[in-house]
Amino acid sequence: MHFDLAQIPEREAYKLLVSTVVPRPIALATTVDAQGRVNAAPFSFFNAVSSRPPVVVLGISPGDSGDGVAGNGYSDGYKDTARNIRDTGEFVVNLVDEDLAERMNVCAVDFPTGTDELQMAGLEPVRCAAVRPPRIAAAPVSFECQRISGVSLGAQSMLEIGRVIHIHIRDDLVDAARYYVHTEKMKLIGRMHGRGWYARTSDLFLMDRMSLAEWRDTKK
């Protein structure tokens, strides 16, 4: 079946996209506004896109609160996360494991601007090494990020590009001497389709990458 996305409603295009690009890693992003108030919100339009330099991206859709529905006092249509990153140039990406899932979901509630989602979710903030937003103590991994740039995608949708300057990994998940992460122990979750489907990362298989010589051997 072929779909011309220019010819169908945006909501239907969204459904097709998020139901096929799965699983998606989840960034529970923490930011602060110009007054220093903390905001936390999860995003699954997220990934690492470079290691030299280390860069992550967040895709942030328009904010429902921008029309005043959530009573946040803003009328620009941007989500608090996008506005805070634009105004301060900093954010923290906290990765989400199975133990953090339900509290992450609380942070997805459309609270009014100025609400401390970490407090609402019972999450402990921890001071970061170099940026103003806090990281989340319960997160297995946190990335401190400085904004490189933001790309407007239209209609208050933003692609925020950040350079990772510090990484925090829970002690039991990393062999620091070898820079080796026990990835399978992190038990990260991924976003799937619909309004509430998620995936675990515990079902793995190993497939080594072949060299050119090894591939040629398979053709003999």
- Candidates 119, 166, 121; CA nearest to 142 is 166
Taking every pair of C-alpha atoms in the chain, what is the biggest distance, in angstroms?
69
Question: Which one is predicted more confidently, 78 or 93?
Answer: 93
Task: Lowest mean pLDDT of 42-46, 62-66, 120-124, name the range.
Answer: 62-66
Q: Which domains does the chain carry?
A: 5-218 (2.30.110.10)
Q: Specify the pLDDT at position 74.
A: 57
Instruction: Give the model's confidence band at 63: pLDDT under 50 very low, under 70 low, under 90 confident, else very high.
Output: confident
User: Each residue of 87-120: pLDDT tens digit?
Assistant: 999 999 999 999 999 999 999 999 988 899 999 9
Q: Specify the pLDDT at position 75.
A: 59
With 50 as the cut, is the pLDDT of residue 65 above it? no
Question: Which one is predicted more confidently, 31 or 154?
Answer: 31
pTM over 0.85, yes/no: yes
Query: How far is it, in rounded angstroms, from Cα 50 to Cα 161?
Result: 11
User: Each residue of 178-217: pLDDT tens digit?
Assistant: 999 999 999 999 999 998 999 999 999 999 999 999 999 9
Segment 7-26 mean pLDDT: 97
